[in-house]
Amino acid sequence: MDFFSLLYFRFKKVWKAVRLYLVIAGPGLVVMIADNDAGGITTYAATGAKYGYHLIWFLLLLIPVAYYVQEMTVRLGAVTKRGHAEAIFESFGAFWGWFSLLDLMIVDWLTLVTEFVGMTAALSIFGVPAWLTVILVVLLMSVIVLNGRYWTWEKIALGFCLLNLIYIPAAFMVNPSLSDIAGQGLIPNLPGGLNNELFFLLMANIGTTIAPWMLFFQQSSVVDKGLQEKDIKMGKLDTFIGSIITVSIAIFIVIVTGTLLHGAPIDDAATAARMLMKTNHYIGAFMAIGLFDAGLLGAICISLASSWAFGEIFGWAHSLNTKVKEAPWFYISFFFTLATAGVVPLIPGAPLVLITLFVQVVAVTLLPAALVFLILLLNDKKTMGEYANSRLQNIVSTTIVVAIIILSTMYGVSALFPNLFQ
């Protein structure tokens, strides 16, 4: 075989793999990028403003953390063809099932409120009133969800994922010093020592990387998409690429705020966008658009995670491939969650700070349980067969899960008792 024939053969092989990936890609990318939701953007903006580039190394550590946890949901979904809620009910019984389902419902609803808070704050920068933002979002999500095809929904969601990359040009526009990023950001260091403030921010970064809804969402998404056991390899690649993109976006946000707002007090991403606008109108606008997009992506995924879970347990038709007539309860629960959460930021004097606090605390009750169930399910050789966790996978995933449980518990407890770790 001559050189050109070999090159052509290789190209065809790679192109075939790329096409296969493009068909299977979706759940991993969407869940990972949606992970950078409104709360996540605030956390990264605050991280950059407070510590500059110094915590970039820590964010890089979150790539394997996010990947190893989420790839287990791909295997579980593809092998069992069941969502996470149904898997918990069936494997661990009704007690743990109801506990997970009701906890998921509460966490998702509270998180959804924070997404609406983020979206209304982002568009208020452009003069859009909060009520109009809520109506626009609900209408937009109706169009996305009611088309009756998972495929179309996923492609639109991926379009919003692309918009999340807006932080990349923003980071280039601030002209950061590459030597500073490499020198300060890539060498592990704890600026000012491990004090309460730094510890809280590190825990917040972990908390925003792995959220309970992500496990439920990705597994249900894998099932709704119809991924088979043969697709697991590509599903895992999808998740891996997603985890790299999500952390990269986080790093670009840190670079933006670390360059322009270093030392400024940042409580939320909308404040960061407003402050950035004073320096450079476009960068501030990019930050606000990114915040709105992050909230929207989060809202799309979170409300679906709840509806899928309820559909699985109550035996309703629960697929995006169904029309409203075929799955009325699935869509009713979707819009009920969405509409009730959307109304909260419009209520004058609504306890939004308390809700944000509650999200952290209630998530701590669900996340450890969901993660423990995930590992136990992945060790059920009777169901998982050759896709059960290997010894190495168990060591890695158990270490990660134990670390997440300890840190997220400390995060939740410190939200309840702010002076505890001082």
Partner 1 sequence: MRMINQFFSKIREINQRYSKPTVEMSRAVKISLAVLRVYLFLLVLLMIYKFITVIKVV
Instruction: Report the interface residues with partner 1, using CB under 8 A.
Output: 89-94, 96-97, 99, 313-314, 361, 364-365, 368-369, 372, 376-377, 379-380, 382, 409, 412-413, 416-417
Q: Given the complex with partner 1, which of 321 and 365 has the nearer CB atom? A: 365
Cβ 305 to partner 1, closest distance in Å? Answer: 19
Distances (CA, A) of 216 to 23, 31, 36: 22, 10, 17
Cβ 89 to partner 1, closest distance in Å? Answer: 4
Q: Given the complex with partner 1, which of 280 and 409 has the nearer CB atom? A: 409
Reported as half-sphere exposure (CB side, CA atoms, 13 A), residue 162 has a value of 6
Q: Given the complex with partner 1, which of 157 and 375 has the nearer CB atom? A: 375
Q: 244, 63 in Cβ contact below 8 A?
A: yes
Cβ 78 to partner 1, closest distance in Å? Answer: 19
| Contacts of the segment 399-407: beta carbons below 8 A, 24+ positions apart | 400/64, 400/65, 400/68, 400/69, 401/69, 401/371, 401/372, 401/374, 401/375, 403/65, 404/65, 404/69, 404/206, 404/210, 404/367, 404/371, 405/367, 405/368, 405/371, 405/372, 407/202, 407/203, 407/206, 407/207
Q: Given the complex with partner 1, which of 245 and 377 has the nearer CB atom? A: 377
Q: 271, 60 in Cβ contact below 8 A?
A: no
Among residues 210, 256, 237, the alpha carbon closest in space to that of 61 is found at 210
Cβ 17 to partner 1, closest distance in Å? Answer: 36
Three-class SS of residue 319? Answer: coil
Cβ 206 to partner 1, closest distance in Å? Answer: 18
Q: Given the complex with partner 1, which of 99 and 200 has the nearer CB atom? A: 99
Cβ 211 to partner 1, closest distance in Å? Answer: 17
Residue 96 is classified by DSSP as H
How far is Cα of residue 333 from the mean position of the Cα atoms in its chain?
A: 21
Q: Given the complex with partner 1, which of 286 and 358 has the nearer CB atom? A: 358
Q: Given the complex with partner 1, which of 124 and 365 has the nearer CB atom? A: 365
What is the rounded CA–CA span in Å between residue 62 and residue 68?
10
Cβ 363 to partner 1, closest distance in Å? Answer: 11
